[in-house]
Structure 1
Amino acid sequence: MDMDRAGSVSARRKKSTLLFLRDLLVIFMVAVLVSFLIKTFLIRSFFIPSQSMEQTLVMDDRIIVNELVPEVTPITRGDVVVFKDPGGWLPAREEAQQPPLIAAVDWFLAFVGLSAPDSNDHLVKRIIGLPGDHVVCCNALGQLSVNGVPLDEPYVALPPGETKVSRDDFDEVVPDDSLWVMGDNRYNSKDSRYNGETPLEGFVPIDNVVGRAFVVSWPVDHWSWLGNYPETFAGVDEGAG
């Protein structure tokens, strides 16, 4: 009888362990599915591959991007956006070969949105001009103007002693369904100004926008919300037309 009782207890323990492992597997799979859906439809992580957005974003910062922009939420001037290369902005590069195990782990982390191995295939800039905007630089004070309205741009980083917000002057009208984008580190950013020889002449199709960056998530001491400075672009709509 004691042996039967011991066997019964052992069987119950084994069954409990299997049920526990099953529940853990279900929880894990649900977490993976939820992470995948969030990454696919809501938010996604990217890292900053260059110095073009300093001091707003520092190289190797991680940012969280709202993927509802622009499909659900409209984009606005001043937004910091992540977008796919419109063609010719980024140099061709060879894919680095990884050991199979590391490649598998990286794929899984990318699948659930915890890694961003394709960050080097995307760019991060600030929207300055929307479709139809007349973007001009620079006036006598070194300012950029949109639709005739000079902008006071507190986010811009300039070399010491420099007051002109762009090394080179330009005068552009943004085509339909396109954007004019610039880096905050104005003297170290290959943005719309310096891609005029590419197929789309420096403009970024709105369809190429992956989303709007809204927070710096890593490192912890860089954590901050990313604003779009509506006061900077106040009155620009009234000047459109």
Structure 2
Amino acid sequence: MNPSESGKRRFGRRDRSERNEPAGKPRSFWRELPVLLLVALLLSFLLQTFIARVYLIPSESMEPTLHGCAGCTGDRIVVEKIGYRFGDPSAGDVIVFLGPDSWSENYKSIRSDNAVLRGLQNIGSVFGVVPPDENDLVKRVIATGGQTVECCDDQGRILVDGKPLDEPYVVNDFPFVPGSLTCQTDVKSGRCFPAVKVPDGNLWMMGDNRNNSADSRFHRGDEYQGTVPVENVRGKAVFIVLPPGRMGKISSPDIQSN
């Protein structure tokens, strides 16, 4: 007997063919694919529900901060959800929120009339592959619960608790001409609106594109005086991800002086 073979038998070391053991077969990719898809969907659900979600800007009310104008490529933004689990929105934050009833009167469902397709769309929405069927809007927080907001001072600035705001992001606004077109002249500036005390737990929201934004100013007659309940907030807009040429952080400056 060959010495090496003798050593194998003595120490119990035999190759697979000697032990008559079948070679292991690699697991089929197609058998693993359903598990991989299930894990991916679960991770997507957890991410979209608790951490962040991507939204498409539906209108030009936030120009030029966010693009959503007719005929242009709308911005897709990342909206993070973690921060507001530990605190409420602050003045200056750009947020996505569900429009209250008076904001959603003209909203039309984006779901199919076909029951089967509609069901698939609703399932897809849960996992973030289809937009939610709700009137999600994006605006900037101007005042929070308990504060009084109005416009304007003698320079055309918005006042919160009597103090003017510093709003460098506003480019397009209604004309305001001291002495001839203000809130005291016979023909008032389009900027003007009377004082509103924001209810506790609510937010006063305005678009950066002031002369083309149907925001809190236009819903003052509803049950919330135009404000939005904090519970309607979906999250804070923090980053533009598409189109590539506009990728970047979304500014949320502190706009209220101390």
Q: Same fold per TM (> 0.5)?
A: yes
Q: How does 1:153-192 map to 2 (within 5 A)?
A: 153-159=167-173, 167-192=191-216
In structure 1, the partner of 2:8 is none
**1:42 partnered with 2:66:** no
How far residue 190 of structure 1 moved from its aligned partner, in angstroms, is 0.8
Please give the secondary structure, in 2, of the residue aligned with 1:45.
strand
Q: Partner of 2:125 in structure 1?
A: 110
Give the counterpart of 1:193 among 214, 217, 230: 217
Please name the residue that 2:96 is paired with. 82
Cα deviation code 1:156-187 (max 9, x no counterpart): 12159767896223212111111111010101
**In the alignment, structure 1 residue 63 sits paired with structure 2 residue 86:** no
Distance 2:147 2:23 in 1: 72
Q: Is the 8 A contact 1:87 1:199 kept in 2?
A: no
- Range 99-108 or range 67-76, more displaced: 99-108
1:21 deviates by 2.5
Of 94, 106, 128 in structure 1, the residue corresponding to residue 142 of structure 2 is 128
Range moving further from structure 2, 97-106 or 108-117: 97-106
Letter in 1 for 2:65: T
Compute the TM-score of the two structures, normalised by the length of structure 1.
Answer: 0.80
Residue 35 (structure 1) shift = 0.8
Report the equivalent of 1:239: none
How many equivalent residue pairs? 222
Q: Tell me the residue number matched to 1:206.
A: 230
Q: Given the alignment, which residue of 209, 234, 240 partners 2:257?
A: 234
Change (3 A) 1:234 1:218: same
Are the counterparts in 2 of residues 42 and 68 from structure 1 also a CA contact under 8 Å? yes
Task: Return closer, same or farther for 1:182/1:159 CA change in 2, 3 Å cut-off.
Answer: closer
1:155 is paired with a residue whose SS is: coil
CA contact under 8 A between 1:45 and 1:114: conserved in structure 2? no
- Which consecutive unaligned segments of at least 5 residues does structure 1 have? 1-10, 236-241
Query: Are the counterparts in 2 of residues 69 and 210 from structure 1 also a CA contact under 8 Å?
Result: no
Deviating more after overlay: 23-32 vs 77-86: 23-32
The verdict on how the C-alpha distance between 1:72 and 1:111 changes in structure 2, with shifts beyond 3 A counting, is: same
Q: Which has the larger Rg?
A: 2
For residues 177 and 94 of structure 1, the distance between their equivalents in structure 2, rounded to whole angstroms, comes to 28
In structure 2, relative to structure 1, the CA distance for the partners of 1:166 and 1:144 (3 Å cut) is farther
**C-alpha displacement at 1:106, in angstroms?**
4.4
Task: For 1:166 and 1:43, locate their aligned partners in 2 and report how far apart those are by CA, in whole Å.
Answer: 36
Give unmatched runs, 5+ long, in structure 2: 1-21, 69-73, 183-188
The percent identity for this pair of structures is 36
Paired residue type of 2:76 = R
CA separation of 1:199 and 1:24: change in aligned 2, threshold 3 A = same
Q: CA RMSD in A?
A: 2.8
- TM-score, with length taken from structure 2: 0.75
Q: How far has the Cα of 1:215 moved from its partner?
A: 0.9
CA–CA distance in structure 2, aligned partners of residues 127 and 225 of structure 1: 17
Once the two structures are superposed, residues 190-228 of structure 1 have per-residue CA deviations (whole angstroms, 9 ceiling, x without a partner) of: 111110122222011111111111111111112121121
